[in-house]
Structure 1
Amino acid sequence: MKKNPLKVWDNYALQKIYRRMRMLAILLLVGVSQIWATNSYSQEATLSLKKNNASIEQIIDEIEKQSGYTFLYNQQLLEEIELITVNVEKEAVLDVLDKVFTSTDVTYRIIDNQIVLTKAPEFISAIQQEHTVTGVVTDVNGDPIPGVTILEKANPSNGTITAVDGTYSITLSSPDAVVSYTFVGFEPQEIQIAGKTAMDITMVEEAIDMDEVVVIGYGVQRKSVVTAAISSVKSEELEKVSNGRVEHAIQGRTAGVAVLPTSGAPGAGVKIRIRGTGSNGNSNPLYIVDGMKTGGIDDLDPNDIESMEILKDAASAAIYGTEGANGVVLITTKSGKKGKSQIQYNFQYGIQNLATNAELMNAAQYKQFMEEAGETINPPAGENYDTNWLDEISEAAPMQRHSLSFSGGSEKSTYLLSGSYLRQDGAIGGEDARYERYTFRINTKNDVADWLEVGNNLNFSHSNRNILPEDDEYRSIVNSALLLDPYTPVIESDMSRIDAIYAAGNTPLQNSRGEYYGLNRFVTGETANPVAFMENTHNKEITDKLLASFYGTLKPLKGLSITSRVGLELTYVTRKEWSPKYYFSSERSNSLNIAQDWVDKYYKALWENFASYNKKFNNHDFTLLGGMSFEEYTHPNYYMKSEMPKEGDQYAYHDYYADRDNNMVGGNLEENTKVSYFGRLSYNYAGKYMLEGSLRRDGASVLPQDNRWATFSAISGGWLISQEDFWSVEAIDYLKVRASWGQNGSIFNVVPFADMAFWTSQNINYPNEGEVLSGGARSPRPTNPNLGWETSEQTNIGLDLRAFSSKLSFSMDYYKKITDGLIKPNKMAPSAGFGEDVSANLGTVENSGLEFELGWRNTTSYGLKYGINLNLSTLKNEVTEVSDDTPQPGASVRGYNMTWFEEGYPIYYFKGYKTAGIDPATGEPIVVDVNDDGEITAADQTEIGDPHPDLLYGATFNLEYKNFDFNLFMQGMAGNEVFMAWFRTDRKLSNKPAFFFEDRWTGPGDNASMPKPNNTSDYIYRSDLVVQDASYMRIKQIQLGYTLPKSLTAKIKLQRVRAFVSLDDYFTFTKYEGMDPEAGSSEDNRQGIDKGLYPTTKKVMFGLNVNF
């Protein structure tokens, strides 16, 4: 049967567009392969201009295009210049500049490849001899600043400009004259000369430029007119990240954004939650890199990124429609600049150790505790072990990171090529947990003509990751280290135990030196020697990923640009796992050498066409955006499992045994398409009143036929109060209020073709005429033709303030986000005959909170530059509706549902028994009778914890003085709790945390906080006694850097050399007594359940940054 999931592609016109798209892609590939290498900044270069009644900005743009020069000026300087007519043919640059500015009050100075524009003095005196002052103008680093305008305040017609080396000389009318020093981007200064003949000036940068632009969906926007909630992280912050994953650069740096590591293992995943968990399934934001949607950003090197913008509210994300409900992370990678080629090399090397550690009972405590519980602990004669299993599995692990980039450009083109290498061993597992990643990137941009620009962005990555088992209460290596008794040795010394295993026909496990691993002395069950499994785990994941986009932009008219962009994302993931034969106990054994392989291939194609038109007249400024996109996604996968004679990862597919009954092979194919149409109108009047609206319509094949199309809209507005004539508060430079409302959708949690019934004959046989079996068929899953979108509606009110010459910055936002129609598996009655649940829109979740960001930047007169930035956000999460009024279970621990999706509670909260202390007479926990029926039953289970934080915060403090720089960064959460699933009170012989020994009940009358040792009931393990406050504050980074003086680097032909030492994640302050308060999970319904997770590591890092 022919599939036609999206009928919109049936019509001829769109099929024709699709054919043209393929042709455009070919043309773009040809165009971006050309890079012009000319590089000329000679003042003898000639220009040809024919401009009638053109704006000064148009003429400047044309001069830059033809000459390769870059203009540097203050925008306000050009506002009063009227329209200009220029008609020259092959004239020198200097002659053209003279003609352009001859009738204006603007003068120019050429410095290397820059043309610096400044206000021209009415008359520069060359005769006055009353008092001459000379000096040098530099920045806080001691570097000269050319082009600084120097004027005598009492006589503005008397002035000069600093030379290339920052020197100047000015003759004043009086020895007591006041002189002003001004330059774009620096704070202006006024100095009274007081008879001095030498005056060196240090200029400091302006704190914040509100005219800088931020990246938004399908464009950019000046920060001063932004009406949505957008946070930015710049390259300077990203370059300091030591982890190697870009996501960690966001943690603690922006309000309202939680970065939750799923594990501390090298190469492990990271979850980003923008303004809370808004879905019961996938709550990940949409990632866009250089305009291309991507499934993740773990393949990017932080040094390749220019900026990251986080779109937090619906108004900023609505332009992305069905994928913007969880927020959007926009990433712009670095690109080449016109001018001299540059080479940059960055190096980091460090040593990692566990950042936090759980304190367990030692051998003496274990013996005493177990004997109080009624057990007999008598180690064999001659054995006196006291094994600290956490010490045995951990080590000081090295990591290193290298990145190298080449960039540059000519008057017609720019380029950037970069590569990086990361290798990180595990603080648990060492080389057995190693992660390696290689990346390669190339960005080019070419001006084919004045009206056409083409370019490309290509990123390839290759990674190898050795994976250790974790997050498993039975087989996790960390879990076994926490539970195994300290009397068990690492290496077996009692050979009679080994002989007994062989005699029973089983195989004990040996290390590479032929030694047998220690066998359990007292702990029973699945728990076994963690060192053995750490050293014999062969589980490797190999990932190759290509992210590529090609674009062409036409500019046929002033203010109009038309862009067509083609993007591809190709990901190939192979996972190979080999398990040897071994025997530790009847619960922990493997009778065969088994190999398993998984292969996943992901293909995504995106074609977007959009046009933007900007029109300014009088005080009105309009920008209109319209476009469409088409995307296609394919995900085939397959797996195989069989007995394998070869060890480790040395086998090939032809080594599999073909005739084994336990052989398994299978696979799956997922396909979907989506078509979108979008538009946005932005308007501001005189830069004071802003209004913006957007609309997007999406059609997605994964939904049932009648529900495939949806429309999402948003509107936002702002008022720049400080621009009003009535504003008279001089201390406040900038005050803006803004508000927004909008809708987004989500299809992340949709099971493709949920409305279609599939039939299978697998395992369908029934008796017919005695012993003869007849075949049959059944539908393995139920259908839901009414399944629809998850829809998020969000309201945001915000305020932005700058004060004291923009030294102080402050922003505040209040948001309320309601996500309706959450897609969840719905339980079917057994009589329905289905083996799977049906997908349905079952619930509503509400997130609300406040966000604050505060910053202060200043430079003292002594040249000390410092900055402080604080951010804080509150979060309230609640399930406000469950459609069938039936609580939905989440994650299970030891067969019990520990997290629940239930109306009136946080999403996936912990549910269990509440206790009111320990009975001093019996040592039993006092369980609260919640429903007050006189007995303790399952109906008394209630909320005992919430894994979601109530408060997120972060703070940075940085200093720069001469060649030294210092950075302190801290981050934390408050109000989040962790269920200690590894605290196995239900297993008497398992080792326990030291606090259980210290706080246990020991006899009648004892006011203890923990029960007596022999209590293994569920009233402990499924109660608040194993839930702890996991609030924490972590010093993420303390870094000290030194930049070599330019006088020294110039001698060795280098532009800049900086060395640094850093302590990363080194100090953690928490009450949580487990391994890591950031107990994470890849799934939201298991967040905060600690089954023995790989913890965060602390690092001592050394680094070097070199610019050639």
Structure 2
Amino acid sequence: MKKKLKNLSALLVLALCLCCFSEQLAAQQNQTIKGQVKGMEDNLPIPGVTVQVKGSPNIAVSTDKDGKFQLIVNSNTTVLLFKSIGYTEKEQQISKSGEMEVLLSPNVSLLNSVVVVGYGTQKKSLVTGAISSLSKKDLEVPGLMRADQALQGKVAGVTVMMNSGQPGAGVSIRIRGIGTNGSNDPLFIVDGYPVGDIESLNPRDVETMDVLKDAASAAIYGARGANGVIIITTKKGIAGKPRIDYEYYYGMQNVRKYIDVLDATQYARIQNEAYFNSNLPLPFAEDEIIKMGKGTDWQREVSYKNAPVQSHQVSFSGGSDKSTYNTSFSYFNQDGTLAKGKSNFERYTGRINTEQKHLDGFLTTGVNLNFTNVKRASITTNSGNAGPILSAINMDPVTRVMNDDGTFAISRYVSQEVVNPVARTYYSNGTSGYSRFNVNAFGELNILKDLKLRSTLGYTLQYDVANGYTPIYYLNATNFTLASGASKSSAENKYLNFENTLTYTKTLQKNTFSALIGNTLNTGKGSNLSGSKNGLLYDNPDFAYLDLAKDNLSAAASGGAFHSAFLSYFARANYDYDGKYMASAIFRADGSFRFGPKNKFGYFPSFSAGWNVKKEDFLKNTNWINFLKLRASWGRTGNDNIGDYRFVSTINTYARNYYFGPNTQFVGASPNAVANPDLKWETSEQSNIGIDMEFMEHFSATLELYNKKTKDLLVTIPIPLYVGNGAPVGNAGNVSNKGIELSLGYHKKFGELSVNLNVNGAYNKNEVTYVGNANGFITGSSASNQMTDVTRMEAGQPIGYFWLYKTKGIFQTQSEVNNYKGKDGNLIQPNAVPGDFRYEDLNGDGKIDNLDRSNVGSPHPKYNYGFNLSMNWKNFDFNIFFSGLAGNKIFNSLHRWDLPTANYPTSVMNRWHGEGTSNTFPRVSTGDLNGNFSKPSDFFLEDGSYLRLKNLSLGYTIRNLEKIKVKTLRLYATGTNLFVLTKYTGFDPEVSGSALGLGIDRGNYPQPRTFIFGATVGF
């Protein structure tokens, strides 16, 4: 027995020794790898990254909230594999020290990206609607004053035009064409809160921007989704160590292009010729002309060279697993390239986004706070006849800027609204601005594993103020003041938004169901007050107060108020089978204060489906196709942005006074227009077919075909004259938009060089299909006081097409004039002489009148496109971006043709001045009996197509400067609006406008060319 125990003990000792030896051997054969994983673009840590040994998926760990990991591997292991949703998979060699820093690049694949779909998010691979997205990288472009500017040229089917180059000017965004003669602006949703404008939003605060283009996507927003929806998500905090980021840039701006007009010598000779052709004495002697030289270049006199633009931005972010925060402050200041000191924009913003988890994730709460203060000064632009820009173009170059005595010079040749533009800007005074506070708070309950209840309460308070000062001045006989004056206006607006949603999601094997129901209540109220008065005690802007003005007879005041209310109920159901078959249905009911009891509510359904063809057996082994999805959708959306209380007859007291008795006058009142209680919603129905594809590992493509029909547009309904009131407004107009969109992408790494190329383009056809008033058309906009109704809305034509006379060359001889006769043998143009335009008698009645005007061009671009190339090599980054439009016309109304002594464009040098000298530019004269320069004709119409180099940038990034505690330092230089290829002769071919005023250039503020230098620092 003792022998057995002795043997057993020996075995145990041997086993123990073997275990110790094997552990020691294993320890010698294993190694511990430590490291941190960060994002390539922002150098922020990435939690939840899977870190595994290449070829051994069972040997793996995940990074913690700080992106750090620790992994024990065999000493023979040389490569680790890093995987994370939303990032490109990466292999990296293990360093000799065992310490690793790994940078992951974002993965643009449809398989991984997530988009915001309205009241939720969804994987892009499962989306069945037409949704395009921009990331924060698209928005981090220096010089962006507004976040929506980043959409230009980046999203197929979205046309973005700057309303003006003036600091603080807004943008015009049209998603899949113009569908109404009213407002065509899309709906903006910021962190779930509907807003009318995003000027107050700092572009650097934006994380993503998703554009809902088809009705199936936008129907979840019902009555406000007819013009498309843009959903903006601001940056949130990320769990981990606190991080501080600071950015500063400074730029110099200049006018990119000046209008080519005559210098003093050319002007004098052309004026002499005009007077000679009119049998009048010549205004300039030859010896006087010889001494003139170039004269005054008015455009350069009013320009501000190297106008500064600058921005400061600082943000603080961080948090834990239970609480995160992101706080930012920014300052933006931009001076205009015209009228130094009288055209500028200044904005301060502050934002706090927080989110907390309570009760082990049962309750999640969050608050988004935003404050904005804006101040601006601006000059008159795009006014038709007045303003310093039109004066700078049309003022004669013979007149000097200043007289010898220091006063502003006054022209002896040009009058009316054309005045010394330097003096005009000097006497321009006035500022405006606002302060806006917005808070949006939410609470979300995880009632069950698959059931969530979310409530959101948002509140906005805004104060607007504007101050004006008019000094005593004399610019010419029709532009002067005899007394100084002051004006002031203020407004207070409040908005409340309350939403509740209940979401249920369930997965059963390969089947995934989700459902959403909710309701929204949105209210608003506000008031405004304005007043003005002349006779200031001191002609000084520092004393421009109403109580210091003593001319009581000039005093005027007005005020008003508004109330609004919207109530909505909505539901959505989604289904997908194994990511192969997808379907979605939406229904929304909206009630609006803008409609009477009969049509208070509108109903907006949509249906969509998708098929991931790649998951079918017949394509599984087709390796060159990585992803292929087919989509189809139909939906109905609405537009209630038609004006307030148009279904009732409002009362007006203006010019309604009457006499009762011999000499007693009483204040009277009468209805403005006949009521129409049957007024209802404008509705838009849209069908869409889409294809999403990724192929050959590095290429992607998205194709969209759509047909959008908008009906029940508001049209003035004619009534008999004996009614005595204004005509009512009714639903009697339809518009169609059909188009195709294509987006292409290429993404690949060549060693340390990564290349991202994105190209997009779209075609859209706009057509009015019905106008239900007596005339069969709606009169559009005027180009100036002299050229009226140059656009029109009519069935069978694009909305707001150019309704002009057609020219057919120039009469070269008197015999040509005499031979241009009607059927009755009379001269068609009896006032014409050689050198005048020949107009086409389209209806053949032997005379030229409005019946001979027709569609000679459309202001709507048929094509919009963009091209973006970005490259990264080691620490360098490079980006170049082009955008453009094609197929549209512009009515050039920059020149005061009605004033024969105003300056001319240099194209007048190719005028007709004898038989055979020109067939495109008519003769000059002081009279215009033939209407060469007064009849709105195709002579004033130009090609508005363009290709713009929108942005060119180069940057260099330095990482981990431990001595000064800097994680990242990026230095960059950027140029914007560097050149434009176009045939248009105005300042800029980007001429926006309303539905019936699009493409009319009345003197728009030119867009600047800007060079920016900046730095971003992350701590």
TM-score, normalised to structure 1, is 0.81
> Quick one: distance in 1 between partners of 2:92 and 2:498?
58
User: In structure 2, which of residues 518, 526, 531 is the aligned counterpart of residue 635 of structure 1?
Assistant: 526
1:472 aligns with 2:383: yes
User: In structure 2, which of residues 957, 966, 970 is the aligned counterpart of residue 1043 of structure 1?
Assistant: 957
Question: Could you give the per-residue CA deviations for residues 782-815 of structure 1, whole angstroms, max 9, x where no partner exists?
Answer: 211111100011111100001123x211101011
Residue equivalent to 2:778 = 888
Of 926-935 and 254-263, the range deviating more from structure 2: 926-935
> Quick one: distance in 1 between partners of 2:61 and 2:764?
56
**How does 1:335-346 map onto structure 2 within 5 Å?**
335-346=236-247
Of 129-138 and 630-639, the range deviating more from structure 2: 129-138
Q: Is the CA contact (8 Å cut-off) linking 1:241 and 1:249 kept in structure 2?
A: no
Distance 1:410 1:652, change over 3 A: farther
Q: What's the CA shift for 1:172?
A: 5.5
Supply the RMSD in Å over aligned alpha carbons: 3.2
Residue equivalent to 1:492 = 403
Distance 1:648 1:844, change over 3 A: farther
Q: Is the CA contact (8 Å cut-off) linking 1:204 and 1:859 kept in structure 2?
A: no
> Quick one: distance in 2 between partners of 1:198 and 1:335?
30
Write the letter of the residue equivalent to 2:767: E
Q: What's the CA shift for 1:275?
A: 0.8
Q: What's the CA shift for 1:879?
A: 0.9
Distance 1:775 1:469, change over 3 A: closer
Q: Is the CA contact (8 Å cut-off) linking 1:578 and 1:647 kept in structure 2?
A: no
Q: Is the CA contact (8 Å cut-off) linking 1:638 and 1:666 kept in structure 2?
A: yes
Residue equivalent to 1:69 = none
Distance 1:899 1:158, change over 3 A: closer
1:599 aligns with 2:490: yes
Write the letter of the residue equivalent to 1:1036: K
Distance 1:660 1:699, change over 3 A: same
Q: What's the CA shift for 1:151?
A: 3.8
Residue equivalent to 1:576 = 467
Question: Could you give the per-residue CA deviations for residues 111-150 of structure 1, whole angstroms, max 9, x where no partner exists?
Answer: xxxxxxxxxxxx9997799999999999997999997433
**How does 1:242-321 map onto structure 2 within 5 Å?**
242-321=143-222
User: In structure 2, which of residues 714, 729, 753 is the aligned counterpart of residue 839 of structure 1?
Assistant: 729
> Quick one: distance in 2 between partners of 1:446 and 1:517?
64
1:402 aligns with 2:312: yes
1:1018 aligns with 2:931: yes
Residue equivalent to 2:818 = none
Q: Is the CA contact (8 Å cut-off) linking 1:825 and 1:838 kept in structure 2?
A: yes
User: In structure 1, which of residues 1051, 1057, 1060 is the aligned counterpart of residue 969 of structure 2?
Assistant: 1057
Distance 1:1000 1:299, change over 3 A: same
- SS state at 2:962 partner: helix
Residue equivalent to 2:847 = 935
Q: Is the CA contact (8 Å cut-off) linking 1:385 and 1:488 kept in structure 2?
A: no
Distance 1:691 1:926, change over 3 A: same
Residue equivalent to 1:49 = none
Residue equivalent to 1:89 = none
Q: Is the CA contact (8 Å cut-off) linking 1:136 and 1:168 kept in structure 2?
A: no
Question: Could you give the per-residue CA deviations for residues 143-165 of structure 1, whole angstroms, max 9, x where no partner exists?
Answer: 99997433468xx8999999979
Q: Is the CA contact (8 Å cut-off) linking 1:152 and 1:172 kept in structure 2?
A: no
- SS state at 1:319 partner: helix
Of 387-396 and 137-146, the range deviating more from structure 2: 137-146
Q: Is the CA contact (8 Å cut-off) linking 2:523 and 2:565 kept in structure 1?
A: yes
Q: Is the CA contact (8 Å cut-off) linking 1:140 and 1:961 kept in structure 2?
A: no
**How does 1:256-655 map onto structure 2 within 5 Å?**
256-374=157-275, 376-378=282-284, 386-396=295-305, 397-449=307-359, 450-493=361-404, 515-645=406-536, 646-647=538-539, 649-651=541-543, 653-655=545-547
Write the letter of the residue equivalent to 1:1071: K
Q: What's the CA shift for 1:285?
A: 0.5
1:864 aligns with 2:753: yes
Write the letter of the residue equivalent to 1:738: R
Question: Could you give the per-residue CA deviations for residues 462-491 of structure 1, whole angstroms, max 9, x where no partner exists?
Answer: 111001011113221111111101001111
Distance 1:620 1:192, change over 3 A: same
Q: Is the CA contact (8 Å cut-off) linking 1:356 and 1:1075 kept in structure 2?
A: yes
Residue equivalent to 1:903 = 795
> Quick one: distance in 2 between partners of 1:851 and 1:130?
58
Q: Is the CA contact (8 Å cut-off) linking 2:606 and 2:635 kept in structure 1?
A: yes
Q: What's the CA shift for 1:1060?
A: 0.1
Residue equivalent to 1:1090 = 1001
User: In structure 2, which of residues 860, 876, 883 is the aligned counterpart of residue 964 of structure 1?
Assistant: 876
1:855 aligns with 2:749: no
Q: What's the CA shift for 1:192?
A: 13
- SS state at 2:996 partner: helix
Residue equivalent to 1:83 = none
Q: What's the CA shift for 1:775?
A: 6.0
1:215 aligns with 2:106: no
Distance 1:126 1:1010, change over 3 A: farther
Q: What's the CA shift for 1:635?
A: 3.1
Q: Which runs of 5+ in 1 are unaligned?
A: 1-122, 496-514
User: In structure 2, which of residues 134, 137, 140 is the aligned counterpart of residue 239 of structure 1?
Assistant: 140
Question: Could you give the per-residue CA deviations for residues 869-909 of structure 1, whole angstroms, max 9, x where no partner exists?
Answer: 00101111111100125211121232511111111111111
Question: Could you give the per-residue CA deviations for residues 959-1011 of structure 1, whole angstroms, max 9, x where no partner exists?
Answer: 101110000011010112111112233321111111222x2112112243211
Distance 1:851 1:129, change over 3 A: same
Q: Is the CA contact (8 Å cut-off) linking 1:625 and 1:680 kept in structure 2?
A: yes
- SS state at 1:945 partner: coil
User: In structure 2, which of residues 635, 644, 656 is the aligned counterpart of residue 742 of structure 1?
Assistant: 635
Residue equivalent to 1:48 = none
Distance 1:648 1:612, change over 3 A: farther
> Quick one: distance in 2 between partners of 1:658 and 1:536?
21
User: In structure 1, which of residues 782, 790, 804 is the aligned counterpart of residue 674 of structure 2?
Assistant: 782
Distance 1:349 1:124, change over 3 A: farther
Q: Is the CA contact (8 Å cut-off) linking 2:646 and 2:729 kept in structure 1?
A: yes
Q: Is the CA contact (8 Å cut-off) linking 1:370 and 1:377 kept in structure 2?
A: yes
> Quick one: distance in 1 between partners of 2:69 and 2:498?
50
Q: Is the CA contact (8 Å cut-off) linking 2:715 and 2:772 kept in structure 1?
A: no
Q: What's the CA shift for 1:832?
A: 2.6
Residue equivalent to 1:64 = none
- SS state at 2:181 partner: coil
> Quick one: distance in 2 between partners of 1:850 and 1:347?
40
- SS state at 2:272 partner: helix
Distance 1:475 1:272, change over 3 A: same
Residue equivalent to 2:623 = 730
Of 267-276 and 889-898, the range deviating more from structure 2: 889-898
Write the letter of the residue equivalent to 2:425: M
Q: What's the CA shift for 1:766?
A: 4.3
Of 601-610 and 812-821, the range deviating more from structure 2: 601-610
Question: Could you give the per-residue CA deviations for residues 914-942 of structure 1, whole angstroms, max 9, x where no partner exists?
Answer: 11222333222121121122322221011
Distance 1:1078 1:124, change over 3 A: farther
**How does 1:748-767 map onto structure 2 within 5 Å?**
748-750=641-643, 752-760=644-652, 763-767=655-659
Distance 1:335 1:935, change over 3 A: same
> Quick one: distance in 1 between partners of 2:336 and 2:476?
28
Residue equivalent to 1:663 = 555
Number of residue equivalences: 949
Percent identity between the two aligned chains: 34
Q: Is the CA contact (8 Å cut-off) linking 2:50 and 2:60 kept in structure 1?
A: no
Write the letter of the residue equivalent to 1:821: D
Q: Is the CA contact (8 Å cut-off) linking 2:922 and 2:932 kept in structure 1?
A: no
Q: What's the CA shift for 1:211?
A: 2.7
User: In structure 2, which of residues 601, 604, 611 is the aligned counterpart of residue 719 of structure 1?
Assistant: 611
Write the letter of the residue equivalent to 1:841: N
- SS state at 2:846 partner: coil
Q: Is the CA contact (8 Å cut-off) linking 2:40 and 2:104 kept in structure 1?
A: no
Write the letter of the residue equivalent to 1:1030: G
Question: Could you give the per-residue CA deviations for residues 158-184 of structure 1, whole angstroms, max 9, x where no partner exists?
Answer: 9999997999975569xxxx9784544
